[in-house]
Structure 1
Amino acid sequence: MLYFDGLLGIFTLGLWIFCLVDVITTDESSCRNLPKGLWLLLVLVVPLVGSIVWLVAGRPQQATRARGPYERHTPAFPEYDRPGRFAATSPDDDEEFLRRCRERAEAQRKLAREKRGEE
């Protein structure tokens, strides 16, 4: 019986430490149902029950991997997440892009000719 109590105690301690670190590192806007400070207080004061309640009702729904020590929910390419953004599959398929490139190149050539003419 003592062996079972020891394993239960180690499990509870591990769960408590995991949940405590998880609450601290979770972004305030990602916490569900209670503010982050109350979750921290709940996990600190009532370790086993608070940890289980945090895992069930407080932890953020989406499982995201941290990209760095200070980045939590940053997408890899945020410019692709904007609504209404169009990305051509190939530059040859985008006639408007090619037209603007040609106009810009011609304007640069004209400016270079004018500069050479002045010198």
Structure 2
Amino acid sequence: MARLLIVGGFLAAVFWVYSIVDCAVQPATRHRGVPKGVWIAIVIIVPVVGGILWFTIGRRRADDQDARPYAPDDDPAFLRSINKKEQDARIAELEAELARLEDEGDAPDTRP
């Protein structure tokens, strides 16, 4: 019975330390609900329960970040639309230059 308590206490301590380290090293964007410092305090003050709360409620999974709204410069559709506009403007500019060169080519050559 004493061995079981020692092993259980050891496992709880390992889980507690792992929870603290995991909470501390995650970027702030991966913390849900409350700020990073509050999560660290919860995990430290309430050892096992705080770690369970951290892994079930507080830690945002990496695939959850894809659901966040994009900033305009991170949105692939917006970037494609900008590139399309820039391409259209560049094509129009090149067509105007080509037309100008064709008009110059029709003029007689006056070079000596």
Q: Same fold (TM over 0.5)?
A: yes
Per the normalisation by structure 1, the TM-score is 0.53
Task: Please tell me whether Structure 1 or Structure 2 has the larger radius of gyration of its CA atoms.
Answer: 2
Q: Which has the higher contact order (CA 8 A, sep 6+)?
A: 2
Which residue in 1 is equivalent to 2:18? 18
Cα distance in 2, alignment partners of residues 58 and 2 from structure 1: 34
1:40 aligns with 2:40: yes
How far the C-alpha of 1:84 sits from its partner, in A, is 5.8
Give the unaligned 5+ runs of structure 2. 64-74, 81-86, 95-112
| Structure with more of its chain in helix, by fraction | 2
Per the normalisation by structure 2, the TM-score is 0.56
Alignment of 1:1-119 (within 5 A): 1-62=1-62, 82-83=76-77
* Cα deviation code 1:28-75 (max 9, x no counterpart): 121011111110000111111101110110112226xxxxxxxxxxxx
Cα distance in 2, alignment partners of residues 15 and 54 from structure 1: 12
Give the unaligned 5+ runs of structure 1. 64-80, 87-95, 104-119
Cα distance in 2, alignment partners of residues 30 and 82 from structure 1: 22
Quote the RMSD (CA, aligned, Å).
Answer: 3.1
